[in-house]
Amino acid sequence: MLEGPIAVVGGTGKLGTAIARRLAKAGRAVIIGSRAVQSAMEAATHVGFGTTGLSNADAAAAGSIVLVTVPFAAQEATLAEIAPHVSGKLVVDTTVPLVPPKVMRVQLPPEGSAAQRAQRLLGPGVTVVSAFHNVAAHKLATDQDIDCDVLVFGDDKDARAQVIALVELTGLCGIHGGALANSAAAEALTSVLIFINRTYQVDGAGLLISGQLGRPAL
């Protein structure tokens, strides 16, 4: 996997803080980004394990891999903020295109998926991979084992493999899901999982791929 610090842009939030903590606990240098440096520093203190906090732009500039963990409504502005600092880098977008209040209804953007939207907004000089759409942040925030695989999407298979290694550092199983366009499937599935959570009173339904997976043939 890529050496160097991992930036978590929007890392003050539920998903970002949880991923940051698991990565930092696994020994990686993690930088939390926020629109407010003070918030980033407070979140970094909360995460511990040597995690530091910076502005989103400075975190993106310092990271060798940049995770983006912000709500769909904030995706465009956040990517505009970090775009000057991620040229040539791997950006892991976790955005699920939920449009409140109807979060149990699939509402994909015109690009086809939030991941493709991220690629359009960042341009071809950035490698976008998407992941973590279906795992509940409050479960990631604990040390418990989680019954949820992480589907990883991207047009560059080596970049996908890098992100799968990163997912494995968080204690989860990352699985190649194919092209970035396929991210629509996992993004849409999140609304289905939220529906299942509410309908069956589940504390964070997840996704497990059945069958015996061999080595990826890519």
Ligand X SMILES: NC(=O)c1ccc[n+]([C@@H]2O[C@H](COP(=O)([O-])OP(=O)(O)OC[C@H]3O[C@@H](n4cnc5c(N)ncnc54)[C@H](OP(=O)(O)O)[C@@H]3O)[C@@H](O)[C@H]2O)c1
By CB under 6 A, name the binding residues for ligand X: 10, 12-16, 34-36, 39, 69-74, 77-78, 94-96, 98, 132-133, 135-137
Element containing residue 163 per DSSP (H, E)? helix 157-169
| 13 vs 70: CA distance, rounded Å | 7
Largest CA distance in the chain: 46
CB of 11 to ligand X, least distance (A): 8
Cβ(8)–Cβ(62) under 8 Å? Answer: no
- In terms of Cβ atoms closer than 10 Å to its own Cβ (0-12, 13-18, 19+), residue 142 is exposed
Which residue lies nearer to ligand X by CB, 74 or 146? 74
CB of 3 to ligand X, least distance (A): 25
CB of 68 to ligand X, least distance (A): 8
CB of 69 to ligand X, least distance (A): 4
Helix (H, G, I), strand (E, B) or coil at 182: helix
